[in-house]
A and B are shown apart, each in its own frame.
Chain A
Amino acid sequence: MIGLRVNGNRFETESDPETPLLYVLRNEMQLNGAKFGCGLGQCGSCTVLVDNRPVFSCLTPIAMLAEREITTLEGLGSIDNPGPVQRAFIEEQAAQCGYCIPGMIMRAHALLSENSAPDEAIIREALEPSLCRCGTHMRILRAVHRASKGLQEQASAAGESNR
């Protein structure tokens, strides 16, 4: 029995300790955000956050995760109340088939929470592990810039109201 903390909730699983997190999320917890793409750490479709850093859930055995903070796409917002990065992606219509986008959003989220104003080169570098086959890259980049702008506006608004 391994206890996981996912999106703030506790979940216990009977799966083998070596089972990659991806399968526990998708099948046991019914969380669809992380996708299987390669199972080899090459495409980033399965990206989730562990202690706020992006990891490939397809290669992260649950044995490693006891008592660590796991965040999935579902943890960033819901369809009725999407999180700021999700909202930016929706506003930019940054998806074609959309299969790669959850991984992109997770990476973007991790980047922006460390650096709310990354430049283009940093964004590209941060998203490098994630593949998109539809060629949605330009929109994804725009969405990350938009999310970044939103965060900065928010920050400056907060700064003003604090004054």
Chain B
Amino acid sequence: MKILYGLAISLVVLMGLAVVHAVSPRAFEAVERPDPQSFDRATIAHGERLSLIGNCAECHTAEYGEAYAGGRPIPTPFGTIYATNITPDPETGIGTWSQEAFRRSMHEGLDREGEHLYPAFPYHHFAKVTDEDVDAIYAYLMAREPVRNEVPPNELRFPFNLRPLLAGWKLLYLEDERFAALPNADERVNRGAYLVQGLAHCGGCHTPRNALQAERKDQFLRGEVTENWYAPAIAGDVPAAVTWNEKQLADYLSGRWVEEHGVAVGPMAPVAHNLARASEQDVAAISAYIATLMEGDAAEGDAEVTGAVGDRPDSGDIGAAIYAGACAVCHEASPSRFAAGLPLAYSTSLRIPTPLNLIQIIQQGVKPPEGEPGPYMPGFAGAFTDRQIVALASYLRGRFTGLEPWTDIDDVVAEATGERRTGANDAGAAEME
């Protein structure tokens, strides 16, 4: 309720700003699609590696759709936005965009015709990216095969469907400024900072947002809920049983299994899968920068994490029985490297302030990309009643972390499972996993 109230006020402000700022940006001429041969190979390859850091394909590809052809629904609090087709198709993609037009979209959030783009496309981060890097991505995208794919129109509620409002939003939150080097950091950390704040747009998920979905600068990377997952804090006090070191971060970010932390899951899984193919130095730089943001000293090491932390509850606990019959086979006794679950004492999901991730993982499981070997956990959607999930989650938190019980657990479970059951897009999918 409070949120709605805040929203309403902000909206009024936005509208005002929009009116003041109502000069329409100009449109760029439609150009002939540039000849793919006109870009040099090294630039294209560089652009591809950058696009992997930007995670572009993930948003701009529908499930089982053609890469970059758009159409993926992106849920926002204001309705659903459909990612655009960024293949060089002249009619449905960006085939008629000049390099200038593309730069402007990345830096200022305007399409070729001068229409405002929604910040689901994180131009407020991309503004930091150098022209040179943006041009390389342009080269990579324009050298690809065009794919004809008409993307459905956005389904946004009034008044959010009014694009001019975005002018006001930008006035408040968009700083069209390239990255400025950190004064007290070495080149590697600076490279990492450039990527994290810019192209990799980590803050898009990990930084808390205000009511207008703008990231709160003072809370940079301090953890936020996005698309029904909690993106944990990766700066400051980080919820992990063992403090991360650079090497672990680099492995984790490259989609590899890290003994003390497990593997990227949920919306982070495709990010890591893409980073696995990006430049190794860049991933190392990202890790170096992130490590400087985390509190705690990895060099000192942590107390050894073994099996149980809290007391084992008596066997009458339904959570204990579920753990023994459904979880322990992989999390304790697995003979398989791939089905071997993380010893739960290491689990970050048990240590974050909300049970959201735990519930998501229980429901959806963990899956490697189709046809590739990798850590696997079946989804249990449908197997548990809400009460059983609550019992299991409470049992796991108590037994493996010794932290205070989650207080909102009943509501979170009810909402997560209720939503899954009625959710329009993925009701079937989630249940069947």
Contacts and interface: CB of A to CB of B under 8 A. Distances in A.
Interface in A70-126: 107, 111, 114-115, 118, 121-122, 125-126
Nearest to A57: B383
State which size class the interface on B falls in.
Answer: 20 to 34
Given A111-B428, A114-B428, A128 B321 contact: no
Interface string A57-72: 0011111100010000
Main secondary structure of the interface of A (DSSP, over half): mixed
A111 B431 CA distance: 10
A60 B432 contact: no
A42 interface: yes
7 contacts: A19-B325, A40-B334, A42-B378, A56-B383, A60-B325, A64-B383, A115-B428
Interface of B: 64, 315, 318, 321-322, 324-326, 329-330, 334, 336, 339, 365, 376-385, 388, 428-429, 431-433
A61 B324 contact: yes
Interface in A1-45: 17-20, 39-42
A70 to B, nearest CB: 11
A119 to B, nearest CB: 11
Contact of A125 (B322, B336, B428): B428
Given A50-B383, A61-B324, A122 B378 contact: no
A42 B325 contact: no
B318 A40 contact: no
Nearest to A115: B428
A128 B168 CA distance: 45
Given A41-B378, A56-B378, A107 B325 contact: no
A39 B329 contact: yes
B382 A54 contact: yes
A111 B382 CA distance: 13
A20 B336 CA distance: 20
A125 B432 contact: yes
Contacts of A111: 428, 432
B192 to A, nearest CB: 37
A29 B380 CA distance: 24
Given A63-B318, A125-B432, A128-B432, 5 more contacts: A54-B432, A59-B325, A59-B380, A64-B322, A115-B428
Contacts of B376: 40, 42
A40 B377 CA distance: 8
B29 to A, nearest CB: 39
Closest 5 CB pairs of A and B: A61-B325, A41-B378, A53-B382, A18-B325, A63-B321
Given A40-B339, A41-B377, A55-B380, A63 B322 contact: yes
Contacts of A40: 329-330, 334, 336, 339, 376, 378
B217 to A, nearest CB: 41
Most buried by B among A59, A118, A122, A127: A59
A129 interface: yes
B32 to A, nearest CB: 36
A51 B315 CA distance: 26
A53 B421 CA distance: 11
Given A56-B383, A61-B322, A64-B318, A42 B432 contact: no
A121 B325 CA distance: 33
B257 to A, nearest CB: 17
Nearest to B426: A125
Nearest to B381: A53
A59 B326 contact: yes
Contact of B321 (A18, A56, A122): A18
Interface in A122-157: 122, 125-129
A61 B391 CA distance: 14
B11 to A, nearest CB: 38
B324 A55 contact: no
User: Among the interface residues A20, A55, A64, A127, which one has the most CB atoms of the partner chain B within 10 A?
Assistant: A64
